[in-house]
Structure 1
């Protein structure tokens, strides 16, 4: 079986970046069981890599991800309830694996992003999209609902916007996606690689462990009730970070007016 993914790596500030691209341009990068399996395994492996600074999720061809593959959908039409439950669980596991990536995950969206493709984008920490990109939560057109992707999409665009786009299945452009909170930056297709590279360079300038800890902090604190116990918890977290080797090096470098060790070529 040919791989449905194209995975490449390049060096970045004493570490490396992985770029994972969906590689089914002839199918508009629609996903099926094989894509889900490969993508889950790829991100599980990346999560364990030492020196990983960031991951870029993109796609080859004109579309980012057109949602579910038609042939896969034809097969699903005859699934039993148990088969549908197991199938949904595999997609849910993929989305969680993406969202739990320990380093920043940058989505690079160059074209159509429909259905589950929106779910992929919503798991990313940062999304840059080309002006030509078009988005749609199109499930209700097929008599379905965006159940599995909903935790990530609602977190990205908010409940109020989800009430509209989950039920209308309207298409919306990249500028609208940015206004909704799904996309952070919009540019031309030609500018897209440069915008992503600039984000990678910004990440590389920061403490590697602090970046990872910031992702964990957001996951742990977002939505938490602000109360004395939370204040005490965050005080302990900052104490741990300040007392770490990287935290001490960062503060000393700042006071000494020099570049920290992670910015110095080895």
Structure 2
């Protein structure tokens, strides 16, 4: 992995997610691109007349959304660059006028290896729910894997692969493994939710054989019940864990990877979620 794209709200400096992204950039020896999103509007200065001649009393102010000026954006970019420099992370900065919603972020994701975002990023003035509609749009159409960051930092000691036997779930496992070979020594758990607890993990022998080529410690666990409820209960008290899931927002998916399952998890479980689709 060479390029990580970090989505940042231009109106707020989120030091936690910057540090989170820097940790992954350091782990994978990648560069970090801070993508600041906001609505860029140029305020038209008021022209006054004095002694028969027009004049502008104050210089024009450039506004990004309702709460930030161009000067404040530049301050936020400087803070981002300093945070990266302190941690020895190579960084770049881009600003996208977010008038077209998540489309600009999705376009940028086409040329990135990984996109990092918080579930609370939004264009709206008030946060109504998480994940926001903006983040849902990004998750549904991103053209690279997405890592949804938690609100607080924690060292990763365990990987949970949320698995349903689908092509999409296997693809997500492979993508995560290829992007983060540095996590090969962490404990890996393949978790499947079935209606019947006695049902074995789908193609466990094949999957286990592949995983053992990449991880030093793997385990399999089957839960019985509804995917969203069982996953939420399983993950609720866990710490130092990263969760890997398959496709988000695509047709024909199993219950495990539908937005109806993934969205409540992103809202209630404060863990990093790695989500990708074929």
Is TM-score (shorter-chain normalized) higher than 0.5?
A: no
Task: Name which one, 1 or 2, has greater alpha-carbon Rg.
Answer: 2
TM-score (norm 1): 0.28
Higher helix share: 1
Higher strand share: 2
TM-score (norm 2): 0.27
